[in-house]
Structure formats: C-alpha cells, structure tokens
Structure 1
Amino acid sequence: MWFLGAGASVSAGVPTAWDMIWQFKQILYAAQRRVPLSTIADTGNPSVRALLDAHVSGSGSLPVPGAPDEYAALFEAAYPAEKDRRTFIDGMIGGAKPAYGHLALAALLKAGHAHLIWTTNFDHLVADACAQTYGTTKSLSVVALDAPDLAAEQIAAQQWPIEVKLHGDFRSRRLKNTPDELRQQDAQLREVLVDSCRRSGLVVGGYSGRDASIMDALEAALERPGAFPGGLFWLHRGEEPPFERVNQLLERAQAVGVDSGLVRIENLDEALRDLVRLLPDLDSTALDSLGQKQRWWTAAPALTGKHNWPLVRLNGIEVESIPTNARRVVCGIGGAADVRDAILAAKADLIATRTSGGVIGFGSDQEFRRVFAPYDITDFDLSVFEDRRLRYDSGERGLLREALVRGLCSVHGLDAQRRRNVHILAPHDPADEHWGSLRSLVGPLQGRIDGGKVRWREGVAVRLDWADDRLWLLVEPRIDTDDDGSTASRAKAADFARERTARRYNRDADKLIDFWTGLFAGENVRALGIGDGIDASFAVGRRTAFSFRVTP
C-alpha cells in the first residue's frame, strides 16, 4: 500500500500544505491589518515570514507556527464558509496534470507491484495517471469519504487497484478540511485503513503526519497482531526532522518488530524514478511520453541596435561553467546531516553532501579519507554532474550552490547564512572601501535596531535554479538581520527590513541587481583554492536574463 500527502502533487503544480499555510497567513494579516497583499507578497523573504508568524502568534486564537493543526486552523480562519473552502481547493487543483511520480505509481498498480493507495489529497492526479497508463477511466476504483462501506467491500473483494480519499475528493459532498472535521473524520473508513495495515506493508510519501486522526489510525494498526507485514517506510524530503509524532510512530513500529524506517529522499518523483529503474516489467508507455509533452521555451534573441530593449530584466545570471566531477565516497555514514556533522567534528576543509550514490563533494583526497575512514569506505572514485539531476533542487545542485557560495565569499569578503535552499550573503566588513559602490546606492550598510539588540547588514540572497536548459544564479537584494529568535525581535527586524526596502522601485532595484551581478561575474571562481584533490571552479556570466517581445 501507498499513502500519499500533498507533497506527492507538488511537481504537478498543486501547492503543498506549507505553501497554503503562508497564503492563509497573508490573507489574515492583510484583512486584519488592512494593508495591501502586495506589501507581504514575498513569503520567500525571511523578514516577511517573521512578520506573518508574529501576527499569528499574537492572535491568541490560532496555533503557534509549526503546530500539527496549523494548516487546518488557518484554513478555517481564512475561509470560514465550507463553500469558500471548496472553491479554494478547486482553484488550487484545477488544471493540474499528472507528474512523473503519479505515472510511475500508475505503472506500479498496473504491474501488480501495488494495489491500494490511501491519500489525504483532494486532487484527481492518481486517477488521471491511471487513465493514461491503462488507456481507460474504468481501471481505478476511487472511494471518497462519503462511501466507507464501498471501500471495505472493494478491498475485501480485492477489486484492485483502489484509491481511497480519506479527506474526501473535492467533488464529494462532504469536503472535510477544518479542525473539528479532521478530528471527527469518519471512524468507519479509518477502521478500514487500520484493518488493511494488518495485511499489507505501507509506504508513506509526501505526507507530513500533521493530521491527528491519520496518525491515530496508524498507531492503532501497530496494536494489531502482525501489523505491516511488508514493513512501514516513511519517505521524508529534506534535511529537517519530521514531526515528532512520525518519529514516535517509527520507533514504536521497530519496538514491536515491524521492519520500518525513515527514508530520506530528494523528492517523490526522483524516488519513484529510482524504483522504476529496478522494475523492468513495468508498462512505461505513459512515462516515456511524458518527456515528449514537456513545453519548451526559446531564448530571447540578443539585443541589437538602439531600440530592441527587453521588457523585463530578470535577476538571474548564467552559470556558464560548473565542475565536471566531484569526489565520490561510498561508506556507511547516514544522511546529509551526518555528513556535515562528521566534517565539522573532524575540522576538515570539505564541501560535501549525501546522495543515493554515496557521499559526493570537493576537497583533498587525504581529508576525505580521514573524515570517512571510520565509516568503512568501500568505494572511492568520481561522480559526474548530470543535467537531469540539476533540473530540480537535488543534492547535487545543493552541493554546487554550497561550493559557489564558498567561492564568492572567499573572493569578495562575504559572510553566508544558509536558510533552506537559499544563502544570505552580507559584507563581513561593511566599512571596507570595497563596498563603496554599494554604499553610494543604499546609504549605510549596517546598523543596529531594537535598542542595539539586533544587527542588520545590507546583503543579497542567492540560489541556483534551472531554466532554458541551463543553470542560473538568482540574486535578490535583502536585509540580513541577526535577531535573537524571539517573536518580538523577529517582528522588529521584519518591520525594519520592509521599511528600508519599501521605496526601492524599478530604477533602484535595477542598480542593485546590476551591482551584485557585476560583483559576482567572473571566470575561475574557486571554492577551496586547493592544489590536490578536487576543487570546484565556476564561471559566472555578466548579463542577466530578460524577457523580450519580438514585434512581427
């Protein structure tokens, strides 16, 4: 069996619960503070997120940020009427098409490697994927929340494949997505889930574990003799720990002898891609046709003459060359966090991460062997960077970002702070004359607020992205703040950053982007500057991407 959450539909364009949480916070903040949504539109900005979190925390009626019931409570607060919630969900999933992961699951169902899918999603992507794979819409039986008896009957009769929607399909009359409704979720359907766990193993993907009723059911299943005979495996994206209740569930499963564990993945599509490679008997017709249906954009032509100017200047500069290889070490170490801890403990000058193929990174061979020898090295060779692994936020792309940031910081005297898939860079010594040009654009480059408790610096956020079949360095001028982590401190830092940048309109923003892109442009930007082992060397272009209108 498979259990799918909102994360399974991200690559199809359906927002995750995390995305919608920030949207709900924006709606509540704008409505209650009577400000335009445009003033808090950039939820990728840590200052904006801190402001929204402070508002929610100060409401006194909503869960604290990060609480398991945060999504459901915010949804109800932003859209009190069920009709409005139904319309919202319909808008979120309208137009979505199956991604690779959905088609791979459909292929697994058709080959008999899976029979039953449980999901908390409202979308129809699994059904659409099955229609493409089977060539008919009659292959998959879909059971919504309003028909628990049907689910039990079809599972008992083994009328595979079956998809069971625990929160009801958006077409269902009984759409359930508020706190009270989640707590009172149909007990009969949950009992079917518990009973099914007694006969099959379970793989959980794209699901955070935030719904108490679902976690209650999985915990109840462990109390049944012979639960999860095929194991219980929770696919978890990213390096942050899962909800504590997920850890508790897996620990409890191991305690009663169930083969179980947390499996860290890049994303569900990539995990299923790796699984498909191991199963040669799958019908891959729909999977093969997916790539042929992808949309392609042609690059804008180069500027010529005096009148062909771009309509929109973008904030990306091309990474014209990247390292060809990285060192690969196959050993018994755990995930990416364990790799970082090992490097830190050994005080080694390495840049490395963990992928499915092993530890990959940059640095001297001697340092790699010193750090990872305690983990029983079985292979020591090279890893090649493939374009297909750079098209999404993979471990390889994250490694390249770390290396490029290290090189930029070394060359230009910058400090870096990592925040999820972004690095915030700021001058180490803002008073240095090296920053005179930036100072002439924005004024002072550093200072203190909140009675001197919070230091701020003018800075820039950078990340890597893939577009037009190549890698780009995206730059976004930011205010870097060192708040103390308290709600009040974050709110004051957010207010200051918003006030300082509010009047940076097109001309000023253009000059800032020009400064940072000009600073970062160059050839042979080296991460470590070492003479042995494998270093990372980059060439960063000068011209930013742009949108161009061609007049017939």
Structure 2
Amino acid sequence: MASASERNYNARVTIDSIYPTVATDDFARRYSQRGGNLMWLLGAGASAAAGIPTAWDMIWEFKQQLYVSQRRVSPKHVADLANPAVRRELQTFIDGIGSLPALGSPAEYAALFESAYPSEADRRTYIASKISGAKPSYGHVALATLMKGVRCRLVWTTNFDPLVADGCAKVYGGTGQLTTVAIETGSLGRDAIDEGRWPVEVKLHGDFRSRRLKNTGDELREQDAKLRALLIDSCSRWGLVVAGYSGRDESVMDTLEAALERDGCFPAGLFWLHRGEDTPLPRVQQLLAAAASKEIDGGLVPIENFDETLRDLVRLVVDLDTTVLDEIASERRVWSPAPHPTGNRGYPVVRLNALELTGTPTVCRRVVCDAGGVKDVKSAIEASGLPVIGTRSKAGVLAFGADADVRAVLSAYEIKSFDLHPIEARRLRYDSHERGLLREALTQALIREHRMTAVRRRSADLLAPASAEDEKWTPLKKLIGSLGGRVPKQLELRWQEGLGIRLDWADERLWLLLEPRTVFEGLTEANRAAATDFARERTVRRYNPALNALLEFWSTLFASPQRDLPALGITAGVDAAFRLGDVTAFSGRARP
C-alpha cells in the first residue's frame, strides 16, 4: 500500500537546497569549448520529437487502460487524455485503488507499468509497439554529427529505442562505427571505453530487444552492477550533460549521487537540461545543489526542447561535417501563413478557435525580494485585496499594478530592487512565468471589459457572464437558448454557458484559444460525474454550423484591433494592455 505521505508527494515535498542555473546560450558556448570532455545521458524526453511517447504520456495511458479494463467502460469515455476532466476522472480512479503511488511520484511510472502489464513479455511487446517506425529527429542526427566530429564520445541512455544508432547510421553511412552496450554485453562497455573505441552508447535499462526488459520498480532497483560501476568511473573522467531525463528511477539517481561522492568528479561540469517552468524533481535539485557545493561547474539549463538545443550547439562548434544535417534541413516542411480569403471563391478553409493577440505588454514590474515562491506571492496579493497581478520567477516577482500597491503587497518581504522586466517573445513560446502572467492579465482584462466572472484553472481559465440578464448576452441566447440553471437531480450544482481560454504560440505569434463550454458552480467529487454527463449532453449536437456560430459570437465580442484592453485600468505604475484581432486563425491549402 502507498503510504499517506507518498500519496501526498507533490504537496509535501520541500527543498532546502539552492541549485545554480545556466542560460541556454551560455551552455552552448561552454559546450563549444569542452564538448569532447562531456558525456550525455538521454531520457525519454530526448525521443519525443521522433514521435515516441514520454514516460509522462505513458503514465496516463496506463491509467486509461487500467480504468477501461477494470471499470468495463468504453474507451471512448476517456479517450481524450489531454482533457483535464478526463485526467481528473482517471486520477480519482487510480487514487481509489490505494496501492499505487501518488500523482507525480518518481515511482509512478514503474508501478503503473507493472500493474498494467505484469508479464515481462507483454511489457516488451508494449515498448516495441511504441518505438516501431520511429525515425531519428534532428537532435539525434546532430548528436551523431558531434560524435563524428569527436565532440561527443560517450552517450548513456535509459531509452529502449534505437534512435542514437539510427542517427549514427545516417551520419556515418552505417552503424559499424558505434559500439552499443546493453545489459548482456556489460563487460564490452569497459573495454570499449578503456580502449577508446569511440563513439560508445550504453543502454542502462537494456535494449528493448534484450531478453531482460528492465522497466519495473524491482528491476530498476537491481540495475546491472557492472554498468553502474562503469558510469561512476566515467563520471570521474568526464563531465555530463543530462537531456530528456526526469530522474524518476532510483538506480540511475543513486549512481549519479555515488559518483558525486568521489573527489574530482565531473571535471568538465554537470549540466541538467530541463524543459518548462516546473521545478525538477527533488533528487535532481539536491544533486545539482550538492554539485555546486563541491564547486563543480554547471547547473540546471532551461531549454525549449532537445532538437533546438542540439541546433544551438552545432551552430557554435567549428569544423563539423554538417552535410547530413543540411540535407535534413532542406527536407523540412515549411509552413507559411495562409493568405486571407478574398471574394466569394469559397475555396475550402478550416476555421480554427484562435484569435491573434495583435498587441501585448512588453514590460512588467520586477521586484527582487525575499518572497519564497509563487504561492507566497499569490497569497500576499489575495490577503492585500489590492488590484495587483503577479507571479514569482527566478528573476524576481513579476507584476502588473500601481507601484504603491505592488510595494504594499510585498511589504512583508525585504525589497532589494524595484525596476522593469522585459517580456521577450522567446519567453512566450512555452509555458513560462511571463506567459502565465500575461494569461492572468488577459483574463482580468476580458472580465473587466465584458462584465464576466472567471474561474482559474491550471490548463485554462473559465469565463461566464456575470449576469445572464445583461442585454449584451442576447445574441448568445438566440444561439443556444438558456444561459444557465441547475443540473437536474443535483440541486447544489449550477451551470452556465461559458468559455475556456488559454494562450498558445504558433506561427511566431501569440494566440488566444477559445473553447465554448459549460461552466459549473458547486462542483464536488461527488457530483463531478453528473456534471460531465450533463455537459456532454448539452454539447453533443453542436456540429460545425453551431460551433462556427459560437466562435463567431465570442471572437466578435472579444475583438479589439484598434483599442487597448487594460487589465487594471490604472494610470500610475505598470498596467497590462492587450489588443485582439478580429479574424480567427484558419488553415487552407496553398494555391499557386
């Protein structure tokens, strides 16, 4: 049985250590000077661009399969794993089992895999199906290019896929140059490394074709001792770059921690590449903090993805033969903006649920102070009751609001610096703190302008009319009828016609995504299933004409191409002002 502390893993973990960070461009410059002295450790995230699901993707698939098989329901009921409501339903079911680790626990992947497929043969078949037909991405070919240029000699991987070997086959014209070491050939690894038969790839979990597929909790803890010792020894000779690896299984993390205990370890540095704004797992943070305490160069490197990072490295490394990479670049599909439809030719286009943000804030207030994290900042804002929008990033507290109000909100923390922070476009390409701040500010601007209410969710903010009697909602009533009421047989549960909104980046610009949906008040775990069924029944017959009409209503309502929409309406300090285009995104086949 999972303990109570394990089931509350995400909520209760605290980290006392502080780990350094290294900017992506800084890492690229360092690598250009010492690449030959840095090993790589690749996890599942490095294979995502090749179409292979990450461990996180498979975790939700395991939950889905357990739910469908044990509840005996149609797979269609929980088919959309990107839907937050579906994930909540699956997680509630998994929590009810009681014997599986908590959401986000490092042991979650292995435990779910073993629970879904107890047989080793079935696990082998599952992995084989996931990697079948996968082709190396730009990053794998770039890594092989670095190998050929002697800027990468040794790669360790926890992956079962053959993508490193396939990348080498493209660059070298065959796989003969690459020495691949799996569990059954563990002794070959030390010989190849000692004799310098580069390049070398070591599969820490065994190749997927191996007799022993090491991918369950017990098996991971029994990691092959020879390969583990070899990794520890290698960490005393070279530095390490970790990419696409979360640090979930104990055996690899135990090995890295053991390597760190040796004097003179990671002589060329320890760099952990990390996507997104979420903090890495606690053991990763502790490892990087311990490395910093030993004055080992490196730290956490925030990146966009594996492919783009390798592109940055190749760009700075001189004397590389990039012939194969250039061929890949020439074969890449080029997506161009669709021309605006003109006249009445009526050629087929697909209307998308995205409205372009034609104007966004370029700066916000930055406050360097002792506020501990996002939760501290949000709590301080809520307690103050002042009109301030803010978040916490590594750069400091980022906020919109009157200067006096921002200072008042943070008065409990020692303010060391109070200046402006640029909101760069590159920081809006992914779920950064800046993009999250803009989403919160845009939501505030829309509810302020259109007299709406908002329920903030992690995946999307839910907006609904503050008063259904307001005349501005008459066109919406004509489209769908009633705008709200009580759910039958659930008197405590009220519903409203509303809209889910979130931000996304595409075609080198920021978009507001619009999703007409039912918004509930009084939602609990007990009535969540009834709410899901009610929402499905309300929207199941909304075919293309009805959805098009709804998108037309919301996009027309929100459009403000010539006028700013301020979030706070203040005259002093830093406000967030937006402009929204009046044409939704669309896609169509290009014509000569």
TM-score, length of structure 1 as denominator length: 0.79
SS of match in other structure, 2:514: strand
SS of match in other structure, 1:92: helix
1:175-194 matches, within 5 Å, as: 175-194=213-232
Deviations 1:46-88 (A, max 9, x none): 2211100011111234333222222222223334444443343
Which residue is 1:33 aligned to? 71
Which residue is 2:464 aligned to? 427
**CA–CA distance in 1 between the matches of 2:63 and 2:342?**
45
SS of match in other structure, 1:147: helix
Match among 3, 14, 19 for residue 57 of structure 2: 19
Q: Is the 8 Å Cα contact of residues 426 and 457 (structure 1) preserved in structure 2?
A: no
Q: Is 2:454 the counterpart of 1:412?
A: no
Deviates more, 1:16-25 or 1:56-65: 56-65
Q: Is the 8 Å Cα contact of residues 325 and 383 (structure 1) preserved in structure 2?
A: yes
Relative to structure 1, is the Cα distance of residues 86 and 510 closer, same or farther in structure 2, using a 3 angstrom cutoff? farther
The letter for the 1-side match of 2:425 is F
Relative to structure 1, is the Cα distance of residues 209 and 438 closer, same or farther in structure 2, using a 3 angstrom cutoff? farther
Q: Is 2:359 the counterpart of 1:322?
A: yes
Q: 1:25 Cα deviation (Å)?
A: 1.6
Q: 1:17 Cα deviation (Å)?
A: 1.1
1:294-313 matches, within 5 Å, as: 294-297=332-335, 308=346, 310=348, 313=351
Aligned length: 545
SS of match in other structure, 1:169: coil
Relative to structure 1, is the Cα distance of residues 47 and 479 closer, same or farther in structure 2, using a 3 angstrom cutoff? farther
Relative to structure 1, is the Cα distance of residues 88 and 297 closer, same or farther in structure 2, using a 3 angstrom cutoff? farther
Q: 1:149 Cα deviation (Å)?
A: 1.0
**CA–CA distance in 1 between the matches of 2:94 and 2:158?**
25
Q: 1:22 Cα deviation (Å)?
A: 1.4
TM-score, length of structure 2 as denominator length: 0.74
Which residue is 2:80 aligned to? 42
Relative to structure 1, is the Cα distance of residues 373 and 473 closer, same or farther in structure 2, using a 3 angstrom cutoff? same
**CA–CA distance in 2 between the matches of 1:107 and 1:26?**
39
**CA–CA distance in 2 between the matches of 1:353 and 1:281?**
42
The letter for the 2-side match of 1:385 is A
Deviations 1:523-551 (A, max 9, x none): 23434456678765544344444565899
Q: 1:247 Cα deviation (Å)?
A: 3.0
1:47-446 matches, within 5 Å, as: 47-134=85-172, 136-254=174-292, 258-259=296-297, 261-276=299-314, 279-280=317-318, 282-297=320-335, 308=346, 310=348, 313-319=351-357, 321-323=358-360, 325-326=362-363, 349=388, 374=415, 385=425, 401-416=439-454, 419-420=457-458, 422-427=459-464, 429-431=466-468, 433=470, 434-438=472-476, 441=480, 443-445=482-484
Q: Is 2:526 the counterpart of 1:477?
A: no
Q: 1:186 Cα deviation (Å)?
A: 2.0
Relative to structure 1, is the Cα distance of residues 326 and 111 closer, same or farther in structure 2, using a 3 angstrom cutoff? farther
The letter for the 2-side match of 1:217 is T
Q: 1:332 Cα deviation (Å)?
A: 10
Deviations 1:16-64 (A, max 9, x none): 1111111222222222222222222222222211100011111234333
Deviations 1:474-516 (A, max 9, x none): 222344457899x667667656655665565555544443433
Deviations 1:263-290 (A, max 9, x none): 4444344444555555455555555554
Deviates more, 1:189-198 or 1:265-274: 265-274
**CA–CA distance in 1 between the matches of 2:76 and 2:88?**
16
Q: Is the 8 Å Cα contact of residues 277 and 432 (structure 2) preserved in structure 1?
A: no
Deviations 1:141-182 (A, max 9, x none): 222233111112112222222221112233434333233332
Q: 1:429 Cα deviation (Å)?
A: 2.2
Q: 1:189 Cα deviation (Å)?
A: 1.6
Q: Is the 8 Å Cα contact of residues 390 and 437 (structure 2) preserved in structure 1?
A: yes
Deviates more, 1:122-131 or 1:256-265: 256-265
Structure 1, unpaired ranges of 5+: none
The letter for the 2-side match of 1:121 is N
The letter for the 1-side match of 2:280 is P
Which residue is 2:9 aligned to? none
Match among 31, 46, 61 for residue 8 of structure 1: 46
Q: 1:11 Cα deviation (Å)?
A: 2.8
The letter for the 2-side match of 1:158 is G
SS of match in other structure, 1:146: helix
Quote the RMSD (CA, aligned, Å): 4.5
**CA–CA distance in 2 between the matches of 1:238 and 1:131?**
31
How much identity, in percent, do the aligned residues show? 52
SS of match in other structure, 1:443: coil
Q: Is the 8 Å Cα contact of residues 299 and 468 (structure 1) preserved in structure 2?
A: yes
Relative to structure 1, is the Cα distance of residues 282 and 450 closer, same or farther in structure 2, using a 3 angstrom cutoff? farther
Q: Is the 8 Å Cα contact of residues 398 and 421 (structure 2) preserved in structure 1?
A: no
The letter for the 1-side match of 2:463 is A
SS of match in other structure, 2:268: coil
The letter for the 2-side match of 1:424 is D
Match among 463, 467, 478 for residue 502 of structure 2: 463
Q: Is the 8 Å Cα contact of residues 47 and 498 (structure 1) preserved in structure 2?
A: no
Relative to structure 1, is the Cα distance of residues 385 and 216 closer, same or farther in structure 2, using a 3 angstrom cutoff? closer
Deviations 1:390-410 (A, max 9, x none): 665566655654554343233
Which residue is 2:580 aligned to? 540
Q: Is the 8 Å Cα contact of residues 277 and 433 (structure 2) preserved in structure 1?
A: no
Q: Is the 8 Å Cα contact of residues 266 and 393 (structure 1) preserved in structure 2?
A: no
**CA–CA distance in 2 between the matches of 1:154 and 1:332?**
52
**CA–CA distance in 2 between the matches of 1:261 and 1:535?**
35
Deviations 1:440-464 (A, max 9, x none): 6263536689988877654332233
Q: Is the 8 Å Cα contact of residues 371 and 377 (structure 2) preserved in structure 1?
A: no
Structure 2, unpaired ranges of 5+: 1-38
Q: 1:353 Cα deviation (Å)?
A: 7.7
Relative to structure 1, is the Cα distance of residues 116 and 415 closer, same or farther in structure 2, using a 3 angstrom cutoff? farther
Q: Is the 8 Å Cα contact of residues 359 and 578 (structure 2) preserved in structure 1?
A: yes
Q: 1:381 Cα deviation (Å)?
A: 8.3
**CA–CA distance in 1 between the matches of 2:241 and 2:51?**
23
Q: 1:134 Cα deviation (Å)?
A: 4.8
Deviates more, 1:343-352 or 1:294-303: 343-352
Which residue is 1:518 aligned to? 556
**CA–CA distance in 2 between the matches of 1:245 and 1:506?**
49
**CA–CA distance in 2 between the matches of 1:94 and 1:403?**
44
